[in-house]
Amino acid sequence: MLELQGVSRLFGGLAALNTVNMTVNAGKVVGLIGPNGAGKTTLINCVSGLDHPTSGVIHFDGVEIQNKAPHQITALGLGRTYQNIRLFGDLTVLENVIIAQHQHGKANLLDSLFQSPRHRREFKQQVERAFELLKRFHLDSFSDSRAGGLPYGDQRRLEMARAVATAPRLILLDEPTAGMNPVETHEFGEQILKLRDDGLTLLVIEHDMALISQVCDEVYVLNFGEMIANGTVDAIKQNQDVIEAYLGRED
């Protein structure tokens, strides 16, 4: 479903990504781990069109996307969340999800605010769908609250609801449980598995190995821009290169 071939991203002399290869198969939850500064966010920025590789090719469902703009990639069926939460803080929780639905590109938000019966009907359906998403992520009781005033964990769940609202087939999550307690994190993991059971594919960046173990079918490990390992969670945990990347080499 997603394939990176020889992807590099240079920032001046620094290779944030160095000839990275990665495959994400449909219907899987794939983890992407690595120490701080390893290049994880750079990788998903290159996949989602926010950034572009210096060289290399990225295919999403057979389409070359490395030179496309974010809205084009969203329209192809790729959603994401951000490590630094990006919400419309002054809009309500419900409005944030409704706007995300429009990022899918089909209807225009202003169009649906016109008063024709058809547009009103469509808008009503969008509100209903948005409410279903809020319920799914336990946010329905805050639908009228200002998004920026929510606690951190709720803002992360709202980001997830917004990503799902774009009707994606693949979702990229950048540290989705940062700031959540262990109970919230585990519950979030169950939501990830439910989305997978619904047929979605997910790529999850996380430092929380409990979440990685809970949800991932397979894990990739980045270190200083290089993909140093790939395999099951159990194999990765015992991989000597991975242990050294995290703990440093014992000479």
How many chain residues interact with ligand ATP (CB under 6 A)? 12
Phi-psi region of 155 (alpha: psi -120 to 50; beta: other; left: phi over 0): alpha
Choose among 129, 130, 112: nearest CA to 121.
112
Residue count of the chain: 251
- Least separation in angstroms between residue 96's CB and ligand ATP is 23
Site map (CB under 5 A) of Mg ion, residues 82-101, x = contact: -x------------------
In contact, 180 and 188? CB cutoff 8 Å: yes
Which one, 35 or 231, has the nearer CB to ligand ATP? 35
| CA distance linking residue 235 with residue 30, whole number of Å | 14
Instruction: Map the footprint of ligand ATP across residues 36-75, applying CB under 6 A.
Output: 36-42
Which one, 39 or 77, has the nearer CB to ligand ATP? 39
Q: Which of 20, 31, 41, 200 binds Mg ion (CB under 5 A)?
A: 41
For residue 43, the tally of other CB atoms under 10 A from its CB is 30
| CA distance linking residue 96 with residue 83, whole number of Å | 17
Which one, 41 or 66, has the nearer CB to ligand ATP? 41
How many chain residues interact with Mg ion (CB under 5 A)? 3
- Least separation in angstroms between residue 45's CB and Mg ion is 9
| CA distance linking residue 65 with residue 46, whole number of Å | 9
Residues in the site for ligand ATP, rule: CB under 6 A?
11, 14, 16, 34, 36-42, 83
Residues in the site for Mg ion, rule: CB under 5 A?
40-41, 83
